[in-house]
Amino acid sequence: MQFLAEVQTISSIHHINLVRLIGFCAEKSHRLLVYEYMPKRSLDRWIYRRHDNSPLDWSTRCKIITHIAKGLSYLHEECTKRIAHLDVKPQNILLDDNFNAKLSDFGLCKLIDRDTSQVVTRMRGTPGYLAPEWLTSQITEKADVYSFGVVVMEIICARKNLDTAGSEESIHLITLVEEKVNSDQLVDLIDKNSTDMQAHKQDAIQMMKLAMWCLQTDYKRRPNMSEVVGVLEGNMNADTNISNNFVATSPIFFGIAGNVSYSSPPLVSDVSGPR
């Protein structure tokens, strides 16, 4: 069903920041999607420093973030039905030769009627990128906005959201962001391997503050993606009246996740890892 959903969805939508479906095969158990070729492959190869690529400069990171925002804005606000992608993460963001970014992998997407405020669905997506409301199984397209905020932080900080390679205190990036913003030390998180990023510290901090607007635990306080695009293009300012608590720890979020079970109640942002 997920395969057919992806084919139906991506064949009916067209946007410069969404990957283009060229063809597909669905013969018995043999299933294949053929996308346009994206030479630079996925974003995770460029921000996690696993493939000896040179660090991306500030302008390239800004371009990628803007392209992701525009793709999501189209899905949420310009299609006949709102389309929630529900698996926004660097592995699902593909890059062409000029680092133009396109969203891919629509296998988990959900269509939401324009006259429906939210939908009830089983938990889907990738741990670490899931919005707090997933544990109530009632979601809107604002779940993508939260995931976008996580991805922006990863791009600016050049590290995974969940990284067990570091110290226990720094495993979870969003918890670390919460600590750093409350102690006025956000600058510590900016990619230290890029001299260009260090030269644009103040701009990077403003981008992180936009991401924090997207990371509000109350989905109603998050911006629409068109508002995010407006901020990125300099047409409006990000909301500064936001909560600096980005990780939901309230017991009301636990034990109501439908078909998903855990050995102990998880933090919302720990509920995933790359699949």
Q: How confident is the model at residue 138 (pLDDT cuts 50, 70, 90)?
A: confident
- Active-site positions read 87
Please give the pLDDT value at position 124. 73
Please give the pLDDT value at position 275. 33
Please give the pLDDT value at position 201. 96
Q: What percent of the chain has pLDDT over 70?
A: 83
Please give the pLDDT value at position 21. 83
pLDDT exceeds 50 at position 222? yes
Note whether 9 and 1 are within 8 A (CB): no
Please give the pLDDT value at position 6. 67
Please give the pLDDT value at position 258. 35
Q: How confident is the model at residue 236 (pLDDT cuts 50, 70, 90)?
A: very high
Supply 19's token pair. 């990957």
Beta strands in 8-152, from DSSP E residues, in sequence order: 21-27, 30-35, 41-42, 82-84, 93-95, 101-103, 110-112, 119-120, 138-139
Q: Is residue 230 part of a domain?
A: yes
Q: Decide: residue 275, CB within 10 A, 0-12 exposed, 13-18 middle, 19+ buried.
A: exposed
Q: Is residue 215 part of a domain?
A: yes
Supply 217's token pair. 């635990």
Q: Is residue 24 part of a domain?
A: no
pLDDT exceeds 70 at position 120? no
Q: How confident is the model at residue 109 (pLDDT cuts 50, 70, 90)?
A: confident
Domain CATH number, residue 246? 1.10.510.10
Q: Is residue 36 part of a domain?
A: no
Identify the domain containing residue 219 by its residue range. 41-270
Q: What is the pLDDT of residues 35-81, one digit of tens each?
A: 889 999 999 999 987 667 789 999 999 999 999 999 999 999 998 88
Q: Is residue 22 part of a domain?
A: no
Give the C-alpha separation, 45 to 60, whole Å.
Answer: 14
Q: What is the pLDDT of residues 237-269, one digit of tens each?
A: 999 899 988 876 544 443 333 333 332 333 333
Q: How many domains are there within the chain?
A: 1
Give the C-alpha separation, 150 to 145, whole Å.
Answer: 9
Q: Is residue 76 part of a domain?
A: yes
- Range name among 131-135, 154-158, 208-212 with the lowest pLDDT average: 131-135
pLDDT exceeds 70 at position 122? no
The pTM of this model reads 0.85
Q: Is residue 70 part of a domain?
A: yes
Please give the pLDDT value at position 253. 40
Q: What is the pLDDT of residues 142-194, one digit of tens each?
A: 999 999 999 999 999 999 998 777 666 667 899 999 999 999 999 999 999 99
Q: Is residue 5 part of a domain?
A: no
Give the C-alpha separation, 152 to 191, whole Å.
Answer: 12
